[in-house]
Amino acid sequence: LGLAYCGLARVYLPLLQPRQSISWATQAMELGERLHNPGVIANACASLGSAFALVGDVGKGLEFLEQGWQIASENQLAFLADMNRSLGIRLAGPWLKDPRAGLAWAAKQPDYQTKMSLLDLPLYLATVHTLLGEIDQTRRDLEQFSTRLEKLGQSKLARFSVDLGFILLRCGDWDAAKRELEEGLREANRSHNSSAAAAAAAQLGVLYLESGKHTTAEGQLLYALDLYRKGGDLLHQISLLPCLCELCIATGNVAKAQDYLSEAQSIVRRHQGWGALEGDVLLAEGMVRAAQDREEEAESAFRQAVSVDQRYSLLWDEAKVYYAWALATIEHSVPGARRAS
C-alpha cells in the first residue's frame, strides 16, 4: 500500500499538481515509518522533496531529499539513493540556479550507477556547468549523456529536451535549441506531462524574447505561466515572471511589467531559500524602475542583482545584468536611444 501511495505521489508531479503529490507522499511516509520500511520512506522523500520546493518551501524540500538519500544509502537501496541524489542536483542546480550546491549533491557517494544516475546525472551536471559558463565541461557532460542514452536504449523524454534546449540556448545554438524545445513540447503534450510542457514553453518564450519576436514570446510565456499558476508551482513562477517583466519593458507596457514584478516580489517575500532566483527578480526590478525613471532605485536593484549573481558564480547572468543596466543608463542619458538601438 505504501508503494502505491508513492506511485500516486509521483504521478501528480508531471501533472503539475504538487499539493496532491504531497498528500499522497505524506500518507506513504506515515505508513513507511509505522512499518519501519526504509524503501517506502525513501520513495516518499523523493516526491516530498520536489513537491514542497514547487509550492515554495524549498528548505523543507531539500531536507526531504537529504533524508531520502541518507536512508536509501544506509540500506543499500541503490535506485532510490540515486533518485534522491539526482533530484537534489536538479533542485539545487538548475531550478534554484545554485551550481555549487548542485555539484555538492553530485559528489555524494556512493554512486550506485543505476539508470537514474547514469542518465540524469550527466544531463543535470551539463546544466550546472552551463550555469557556471564552463562550456567545455558542458560538452563533455552532453557527450557522456548521449553515449549512455544510446547504450541503454532509452528514448529521449520530454524533460530531457527541456534541459538540452536550455543548454543549447545558453551556448548560442538557437536553431538547435528551438528544434529541441519544440520536440519536447510536442512530446510533453502527447504524454500529458504538464510540467515538461510548461518548462519547454517557458524556454521557447525566452528564446523568442531574446530574438525580438515579442508576440510569439508572449504566447509561450503566458501559456507556461497559466500552467504554473493553476498547479500552484511558485518556484517556476519566480523563474518566469522576470521574463514577462522584460517582455513588457521591451514592448513599452511598463504598468503590466510592474504587475508582474509585484507578483514575483510577493512570492519572494512569503518564502525563503530561492537561491539565485532572487537575482532574476532584482534584475527585473532594476529594469522596471529604470523604465519608471526611478534612477536611484534602479541602480540599487541592478547592484543587488550583480551581487547575487557573483555570489552564485553565474557569469552569464551577471553579464545580462550589466547589459540591461547599460541600456537603462543610455536611455536615461539620451531618451529614445535604447529604442533606436
Is residue 54 within 8 A of residue 17, CB to CB? The reply is no
Q: What is the mean pLDDT of the chain?
A: 92
Percent of the chain scoring above 70 in pLDDT: 95
Confidence at residue 248, expressed as pLDDT on a 0 to 100 scale: 98
Residues 169-222 pLDDT 10s: 999 999 999 999 999 999 999 999 999 999 999 999 999 999 999 999 999 999
Dig out the grid coordinates for 217 from the structure: 514570446
0.85 surpassed by pTM: yes
| pLDDT bucket at 3, cuts 50 / 70 / 90 | confident
Determine the Cα–Cα distance for residues 242 and 276; give it in Å rounded to an integer.
Answer: 13
pLDDT of residue 178: 96
Output the CA–CA distances (angstroms, integers) from residue 216 to 167, 196, 201, 292, 294, in the order listed. Answer: 21, 19, 11, 25, 30
Report the b/e string of 157-166 with b at 16+ CB within 10 A: bbbbbbbbbb
At residue 336, the pLDDT reads: 53
According to the model, what pLDDT value does residue 341 have? 42
Q: What is the mean pLDDT of residues 307-321?
A: 96
Residue found by looking up cell 524549498 in the block? 58
Rounded mean pLDDT of 322-334?
A: 85
Phi, psi (degrees; rounded to nearest 5) at 134 = -95, 80
Lowest model confidence (mean pLDDT) among 30-44, 50-64, 325-339: 325-339
The per-residue pLDDT for 109 is: 86
pLDDT band, very low/low/confident/very high, at 154 (cuts 50, 70, 90): low
pLDDT at 334 over 90: no
Phi, psi of 41 (to 5 degrees): -60, -50
Q: Is pLDDT at 158 greater than 60 in this prediction?
A: yes
Q: Would you place residue 123 in the very low, low, confident or very high pLDDT band (cuts 50, 70, 90)?
A: confident
In this model, does residue 99 exceed pLDDT 70?
yes
The answer to whether 57 and 271 are in contact (CB under 8 A) is: yes
**Cell numbers standing for residue 72:** 536509501
- pLDDT reported for residue 331: 78
For 126, 159, 255, 280, 338, the CA distances from 331, given in Å and listed in that order, are 37, 39, 18, 21, 5
Reply yes or no on whether the pLDDT at 316 is more than 50: yes
Does the pLDDT value for residue 2 go beyond 70?
Answer: yes
Average pLDDT of the segment spanning 93-120: 86
User: Across residues 219-244, what is the average pLDDT?
Assistant: 97
- Given a cut of 90, whether residue 233 has pLDDT beyond it is yes
